[in-house]
Amino acid sequence: MNAMLDFGYQSLPMRVVMGPHALDRLAEEIDRAGLKRVVILCSPEQEALAVTVAGLIGERAAGIHPHARMHVPVESATRARDRVAELNADGCVAVGGGSAIGLGKAVALRHGLPIIAVPTTYAGSEMTPVWGLTEDGVKRTGKDPRVLPVSVLYDPELTVTLPAIVSATSGMNAIAHAVEALYAPDTSPVVGLMAEEGVRALATALPDIVADGTDLEARAQAQYGAWLCGACLGATTMSLHHKLCHALGGTLDLPHAPTHTVVLPHALAYNQPAAPRAVAALGRALDGATDPAMWLWELAGRLGAPRSLQELGMVEGDIEPIVRIALANPYANPREVTDEGLTRMLRAAWSGRPPTG
């Protein structure tokens, strides 16, 4: 028999437009949001795409600011906020991955300007009211409804240039959101459905994308999965896996998506014994897998993605301080996080051994 239903769920107010040539509908979305002059934000590498976007929206484009950087350094946020004020803009269009969208959030946090997001990775930031700012090597995060984009356009054609390895790690980053949402303290049946479907879509699409980055059907499936996994992230509170990745990224400056890719199978293996419903849902999503953690570790191998923290540049001596940081602030987790358990888990992730919990 099913357990008695007992949950809370808050749906977030935003529009999603998904499909081939979704970008062509950007002008319509800007008008629908009542915006007249938007600044296009992107990372330096996506400047050419931002120019195309400006061409598509004509006089609605107030300017392009191609200076987004990973983890939103405060100096970069200040520069973007000043530029948006100078241009007298009334909104931002963030085109790119989590870095561009993060910059849009930093502007929204200060000026309250609405964001329209055009994601080109699978990181999922566009679906959350969570912002992040990095100062003196410390990343602060917070929640504010003003940073949630009003509208998100998913156009698979914008992702065909995403290299195989970035697609693989970004997709694993998205899967991590759904995995932790399944055992989150504030999970719900709706979140469970989104998480299961999101993991299924990404796990199916990623091998096809790595084989052929121009496979538009696989690209669309991956974006669909990224949307659902991002929505799971926006709806729940994350646990061990995300806390550990935050500590590794913030303290050692390890790259975001590859770190998630390496840690996920290990964090999941640690939590699996205490999260039977999550294991069952992941089993349904992953071809009937009985050990989803091992299945995801093997998937990372098949995708050619990194599987050890060592290869991301972490040295063995960093394990102990990271364990200290990860234990310093308590958070909800299905299984008690102990010094000994965390050290064992991080050692396996560092050396690239299969996950054992």
Instruction: Using CB under 6 A, list all residues that contact ligand NAD.
Output: 43, 45-46, 70-71, 96-100, 102, 120-121, 123-125, 128, 130, 132, 158-159, 161-162, 166, 170, 233, 256-257
In DSSP notation, 131-160 reads EEEEETTEEEEEE-GGGS-SEEEE-GGGGT
In the complex, minimum distance from the CB of residue 141 to ligand NAD, in angstroms, rounded to a whole number: 7
Compute CA distances 92 → 19, 36, 134, whole Å: 22, 10, 21
Nearest CA among 120, 144, 109, 127 for reference residue 53: 120
Residue closest to ligand NAD (Cβ): 98
In the complex, minimum distance from the CB of residue 99 to ligand NAD, in angstroms, rounded to a whole number: 3
Of the pair 261, 333, the CB lying nearest ligand NAD is at 261
In the complex, minimum distance from the CB of residue 186 to ligand NAD, in angstroms, rounded to a whole number: 16
Nearest CA among 288, 201, 268 for reference residue 280: 288
In the complex, minimum distance from the CB of residue 312 to ligand NAD, in angstroms, rounded to a whole number: 14
In the complex, minimum distance from the CB of residue 1 to ligand NAD, in angstroms, rounded to a whole number: 36
Question: Per residue, what are the HEC states of 28-59?
Answer: HHHHHCCCCCEEEECCHHHHHHHHHHHHHHHH
In the complex, minimum distance from the CB of residue 273 to ligand NAD, in angstroms, rounded to a whole number: 27
Of the pair 45, 320, the CB lying nearest ligand NAD is at 45
Nearest CA among 269, 348, 356 for reference residue 309: 348
Of the pair 2, 10, the CB lying nearest ligand NAD is at 10
3-class state of residue 88 by DSSP: coil
Helices (H), the chain: 26-32, 47-57, 74-86, 98-111, 164-182, 189-211, 216-235, 240-252, 256-271, 276-285, 292-302, 319-328, 339-351
Of the pair 47, 354, the CB lying nearest ligand NAD is at 47
In the complex, minimum distance from the CB of residue 350 to ligand NAD, in angstroms, rounded to a whole number: 21
In the complex, minimum distance from the CB of residue 249 to ligand NAD, in angstroms, rounded to a whole number: 7
Of the pair 161, 204, the CB lying nearest ligand NAD is at 161
Of the pair 43, 271, the CB lying nearest ligand NAD is at 43
Of the pair 97, 355, the CB lying nearest ligand NAD is at 97
In the complex, minimum distance from the CB of residue 292 to ligand NAD, in angstroms, rounded to a whole number: 21
The secondary structure of residue 161, as a DSSP letter, is T
Nearest CA among 351, 294, 318 for reference residue 244: 318
CB atoms within 10 A of CB 335: 16
Q: Determine contact, residues 91/116, Cβ cutoff 8 Å.
A: yes
* Cα–Cα distance for residue pair 145/100, rounded to 1 Å: 18
Of the pair 96, 192, the CB lying nearest ligand NAD is at 96
Burial bucket for residue 161 (CB in 10 Å: 0-12, 13-18, 19+)? middle
Of the pair 84, 176, the CB lying nearest ligand NAD is at 176
**To the nearest 10°, the Cα dihedral for 297, 301, 307, 311?**
180
3-class state of residue 93 by DSSP: strand
